[in-house]
Chain A
Amino acid sequence: MGAGHSHPLYLPGTSVVHRLPAQVKIVAAFLTVLCVVATPREAFPAFAGYLLLLVAVWVAARIPPGWLARRALIEAPFVVLAVLLPFTGPDPRIEWAGLSLSHAGLLGAWNILAKGTLGVLTSLTLAATTPMRDLLLGLQRLRAPALVVTIATLMLRYADVIAAEARRMRVARIARGHDPRFLWQAGATARGIGSLFVRSYERGERVHLAMLARGWTGTLPAAGAAAAARVDWARGLAVPVVAAAVAVTALVTT
């Protein structure tokens, strides 16, 4: 099993942020993102304010910015669209460095880029300080629908099993001289994915049988996540409170 022993998005630690109960952090992250989204796009200083706020959390949680930056690259495919907007947007246009850029398009691109980046960074901060398992317990505590929590729990367990299976199949293909460097050689990979799907489906059926055999009736037994203390809520919600103050200031002044 080549899978790492912890999730790639999680950075183990013992900081005050790590120690907060997961449900507090989920609510705090959600509210912070809401504030960011509600901020008018022209309120440029507000976005710097949010970034400062996140930096403060990173310092408290001892997360190196470079570690986050590498993981934030996941955003890149979504930003491509934003780059097109200044070229395709409506008039009036601005001449800059020999390019004709749309004013509205520029603002639109900035809006996507700034809010998207802040959203991704907030989520990454949550993931970096909270193990996956605790996130699920937190969701359960927050009374997320049982079915969603069940599916996420099973996904957490089997994503690694299926990834390991895919890895073994790939190694077995390579061991027989497969070298998919060109598009027309990708057929074997595609068939591999197909058979992986069938195998995963069959495994799903076997898992279901094994669950039935142990008396499964449709809901996971409630896991014992502790209730969060008031002081934890106060600490955790300090972040969205500051974010809300920034958002309100931005709304009033723009």
Chain B
Amino acid sequence: MTASLEVTGLDFAYPDGTPALRGVDLRIDPGERVALLGPNGAGKTTFVLQLNGILTPTAGTVAVGGLPVRKPNLQEIRRRVGIVFQDPDDQLFMPTVREDVAFGPANFGVTGAELTARVDAALAEVGMAGHADRSPLHLSGGQRRRVALATVLACDPEILVLDEPSSNLDPVARRELAETLLRLDRTLLMVTHDLPYALQLCPRSVVVDDGRVVADGPTRDLLADADLLRAHRLELPFGFALA
């Protein structure tokens, strides 16, 4: 089986020479939902930007659905890797929701009736079908997050990558987003500090710290390992404990 995401020996250093990622290996199979956990500054967002070639690794390889991330493939890679950024205001930049959701697929050459169908399907998938002609500015935080998800779903990606999806959401919006994500049935990589959210959504977790993968296993096992969490500045919220 071809992996949805295959990362081998990935090294990355910032232009000033500071190493951010040191030899990261990660394989995600189709249909898997994986949480990428780690403290601030562990290299999580840097890692995400390697996946679609926005940053170029200093060493190592990334392949998405078997296609290596290289300059000639970039456009197809960016279709295959759907990144939902942390701040929806960075992602939603068009005057209406419909145009924003159409932006990705239109860039990838979808036009006419198919484009309309894709936009409608993506908005329906996230439960925002009635808001297509509104401005993203007039949506609530939770609605914006779901529209941001739709902008990526409309590109029909091989793997969905979510950067801190639960940040700035109220508990209801947080739960609604979880329900939407669980319904999607897609390969998912979720970058987060929100450990209960990781447990709810992702059967498997990967812990990165200081640019390295330090643990990879079932989410429940990792979160029950108090020593591992403490060693990497991770912590369950007050009142939470896993037996």
Contacts and interface: CB of A to CB of B under 8 A. Distances in A.
Contacts of A136: 95
Contacts of A5: 138
Contact of B49 (A132, A160, A209, A220): A209
B107 A217 contact: yes
Interface residues of B: mostly helix, strand, loop or mixed? helix
Interface in B96-126: 96, 99, 102-104, 106-108
Nearest to A154: B93
B112 to A, nearest CB: 9
Given A1-B138, A153-B94, A214 B49 contact: no
A142 interface: no
A206 B85 contact: yes
Interface stretch (B75-83, B170-178, B208-216): B75-83
B137 A215 contact: no
Interface residues of B, number: 32
B54 interface: yes
A126 B137 CA distance: 24
Given A153-B94, A158-B93, A203-B89, A212 B104 contact: no
A84 to B, nearest CB: 41
B104 A133 contact: no
Contacts of B94: 153, 157
B137 A214 contact: no
B137 A210 contact: no
Interface string A116-155: 0000000000000000110010000000000000000110
Contact of B137 (A1, A154, A211, A212): A1
Contacts of A156: 95
Interface in A195-238: 203, 206-207, 209-217, 220-221, 223
A136 B75 CA distance: 28
Contacts, number: 74
Contact of B93 (A132, A157, A213, A215): A157
Interface string B198-209: 000000000000
Interface string B18-48: 0000000000000000000000000000000
A215 B91 CA distance: 13
A203 B86 CA distance: 12
Contacts of B92: 157
B141 to A, nearest CB: 10
Contacts of A214: 78, 103-104, 107, 151-152, 155
A224 B173 CA distance: 33
A245 interface: no
Contacts of A154: 93
A80 interface: no
Contacts of B102: 221
Contacts of B221: none
A74 interface: no
B100 to A, nearest CB: 9
A156 B93 CA distance: 9
Nearest to B98: A223
Interface of B: 49, 52, 54, 75, 78-79, 81, 83, 85, 87, 89-96, 99, 102-104, 106-108, 135-138, 151-152, 155
- By Cβ-Cβ distance, the 9 closest A-B pairs, closest first, are A221-B106, A215-B107, A214-B104, A206-B90, A210-B91, A213-B83, A215-B78, A133-B95, A210-B90
9 contacts: A1-B137, A203-B89, A209-B54, A210-B91, A211-B103, A214-B152, A214-B155, A215-B104, A216-B103
